[in-house]
């Protein structure tokens, strides 16, 4: 038995329960919005760890398809409310054979400017249809058309094919839009694909978009960087072993993980690269990815902004009803407007 400061006696079992509760609870900073505090309070480290059971990269496609469907069903749940709140026009289109989701905000006015969105999901999850949480609010805030590329998921496709699909869709849009009238953004693994696609487009001498925005981008597939260690026990949603590592191997073999088309932080940024806005939260293990990418661009004299958010988790921008999301989306819009030449 143990005595507490108020002399109450606690049994060994009770003490273990208290310690487990303390270890399992997430630290919720007082410096974030009440809405964000409430959301963090719904998550636990135990719950996060329970999800670290993805198939191995070489598991049969049937096994992966089963998990992909589970994730898709879960991601569909909040969409009805989102569509009710924003009332966008959402359609399926094809860009030289590549499927995409065309999102126009309510009261959309025709424009010669467009935004491309490359969705996340660890390379292995979600059709673009169910990633509207990260596109509809930005479409509404910017009053611009957003086209979400529905690339083939890993492990059914590997990195070369996925990047080429994005480039094919981009080239199709160049038939309608000037490159300087296109902005592109990606979240999580979508940020990886975004930067890799731009590096390859640059190598292929394709005109590059006006600007790039990265939300919580996964820019080094290996578990390298300070925050992978310092935040691994406090990140509310991301865990490397059993989850991210399996996703990474499904996307590309480990022998390719320092290839800039796989882990873009290793790219050559002494050459041309569009103005870039990097957004990241202070709670996510990808923090170091963003810091390293920022330094790469900054030390090569590129136009780059680092936008770090106190107490935020991975891709908080998609939680449209918290103030920090609204701020991040507004900052994304303002950055894109600046480089698209929109002054209103």
Three-state secondary-structure class, residue 190 = helix
Q: Which has more pLDDT, 6 or 269?
A: 269
Q: For residue 112, tell me if it sits in a domain.
A: yes
Beta strands in 55-210 (DSSP E): 89-95, 98-104, 114-118, 145-149, 182-187
Across the range 317-340, mean pLDDT stands at: 98
Q: What pLDDT does residue 25 have?
A: 75
Residue 22 pLDDT > 70, yes or no? no
- Characterize the bridge pairing of strands 98-104 and 89-95: antiparallel
End-to-end CA distance of the chain: 68
Domain span holding position 296: 34-340
Three-state secondary-structure class, residue 306 = strand
Task: Name the helix (H) or strand (E) containing 48.
Answer: helix 45-50
Residue 116 pLDDT > 80, yes or no? yes
Distance between CA atoms of residues 184 and 170, nearest Å = 10
Handedness of CA 273, 137, 123, 42 (dihedral sign): positive
Residue 3 pLDDT > 70, yes or no? no
Q: For residue 27, tell me if it sits in a domain.
A: no
Tokens of 65: 């398809």
Give CA 138 to chain center in angstroms: 14
Across the range 320-338, mean pLDDT stands at: 98
- Cα→Cα distances 144→32, 91, 306, 338, Å: 29, 15, 23, 14
The answer to whether 208 and 275 have CB atoms below 8 angstroms apart is no
Q: For residue 5, tell me if it sits in a domain.
A: no
Residue 24 pLDDT class (50, 70, 90 cuts): low
Q: For residue 126, tell me if it sits in a domain.
A: yes
Instruction: Count CA atoms within 13 Å of residue 206 on its CB side.
Output: 21
- Characterize the bridge pairing of strands 98-104 and 182-187: unpaired
Q: For residue 215, tell me if it sits in a domain.
A: yes
Distance between CA atoms of residues 59 and 250, nearest Å = 9
pLDDT digits (tens, 9 = 90+) for 228-270: 999 999 999 999 999 999 999 999 999 999 999 999 999 999 9
Query: Judging by beta carbons within 10 Å of its beta carbon (0-12, 13-18, 19+), is residue 45 exposed, middle or buried?
Result: middle
Distance between CA atoms of residues 60 and 87, nearest Å = 39
Structural domains of the chain, count:
1
Across the range 143-148, mean pLDDT stands at: 98
Residue 282 pLDDT > 60, yes or no? yes
Residue 26 pLDDT class (50, 70, 90 cuts): confident
Distance between CA atoms of residues 241 and 222, nearest Å = 11
Residue 2 pLDDT class (50, 70, 90 cuts): very low
Domain containing 194 — which CATH number? 3.40.50.1820
Q: For residue 59, tell me if it sits in a domain.
A: yes
pLDDT digits (tens, 9 = 90+) for 291-314: 999 999 999 999 999 999 999 999
Q: Residue 152: phi, psi to the nearest 5?
A: -65, 135
Q: What is the pTM of this model?
A: 0.92
β-bridge partners, 215: 187, 279
**Those residues with Cβ within 8 angstroms of residue 113's Cβ, 6 or more apart along the chain or in another chain:** 144, 177, 181, 182, 183, 340, 342
**Those residues with Cβ within 8 angstroms of residue 319's Cβ, 6 or more apart along the chain or in another chain:** 39, 133, 325
Bond prior to 256 in cis (omega within 30° of 0): no
Q: What pLDDT does residue 16 have?
A: 44
Across the range 123-149, mean pLDDT stands at: 98
The answer to whether 210 and 180 have CB atoms below 8 angstroms apart is yes
Q: What pLDDT does residue 15 have?
A: 46
Query: Judging by beta carbons within 10 Å of its beta carbon (0-12, 13-18, 19+), is residue 158 exposed, middle or buried?
Result: middle
Q: For residue 118, tell me if it sits in a domain.
A: yes
Tokens of 6: 């108020």
Among the ranges given (7-11, 102-106, 336-340), the one the predictor scored with the smallest mean pLDDT: 7-11
Residue 23 pLDDT class (50, 70, 90 cuts): low
Instruction: Count CA atoms within 13 Å of residue 62 on its CB side.
Output: 0
Region of residue 205 (phi > 0: left; psi between -120 and 50: alpha; otherwise: beta): left
Q: What pLDDT does residue 160 have?
A: 98
Q: For residue 39, tell me if it sits in a domain.
A: yes
């Amino acid at each position: 038995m143990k005595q507490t400061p108020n002399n109450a006696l606690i049994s060994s079992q009770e003490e273990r329960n208290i310690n487990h509760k303390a270890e399992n609870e997430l630290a919720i900073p007082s410096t974030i919005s009440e809405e964000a505090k409430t959301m963090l309070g719904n998550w636990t480290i135990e719950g996060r760890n329970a999800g670290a059971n993805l198939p191995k990269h070489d598991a049969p496609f049937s096994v992966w398809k089963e998990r992909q469907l589970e994730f898709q069903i879960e991601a569909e749940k909040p969409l009805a409310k989102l569509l009710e709140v924003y009332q966008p026009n959402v359609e399926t289109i094809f860009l030289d054979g590549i499927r995409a989701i065309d999102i126009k905000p309510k009261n959309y006015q025709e424009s010669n400017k467009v935004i491309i969105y490359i969705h996340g999901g660890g390379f292995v999850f979600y059709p673009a249809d169910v990633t509207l949480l990260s596109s509809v609010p930005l479409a509404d805030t910017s009053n611009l058309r957003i086209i979400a590329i529905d690339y083939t998921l890993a492990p059914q496709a590997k990195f070369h094919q996925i990047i080429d699909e994005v480039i094919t869709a981009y080239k199709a849009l160049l038939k309608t839009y000037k490159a300087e009238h296109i902005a592109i953004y990606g979240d999580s693994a979508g940020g990886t694909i975004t930067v890799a696609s731009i590096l390859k487009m640059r190598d292929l001498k394709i005109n590059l978009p006006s600007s790039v925005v990265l939300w919580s981008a996964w820019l080094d597939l290996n578990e390298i960087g300070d925050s992978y260690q310092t935040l691994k026990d406090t990140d509310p949603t991301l865990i490397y072993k059993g989850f991210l590592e399996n996703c990474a191997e499904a996307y590309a073999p480990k022998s390719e993980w320092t290839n800039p088309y796989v882990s873009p932080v290793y790219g050559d940024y002494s050459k041309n690269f569009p103005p870039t806005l990097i957004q990241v939260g202070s709670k996510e293990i990808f923090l170091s990815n963003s810091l390293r990418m920022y330094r790469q661009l900054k030390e090569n004299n590129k136009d780059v902004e680092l936008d770090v958010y106190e107490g935020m988790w991975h891709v908080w921008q998609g939680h449209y009803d918290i103030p920090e999301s609204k701020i991040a989306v507004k900052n994304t819009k303002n950055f894109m407007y600046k480089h698209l030449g929109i002054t209103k």
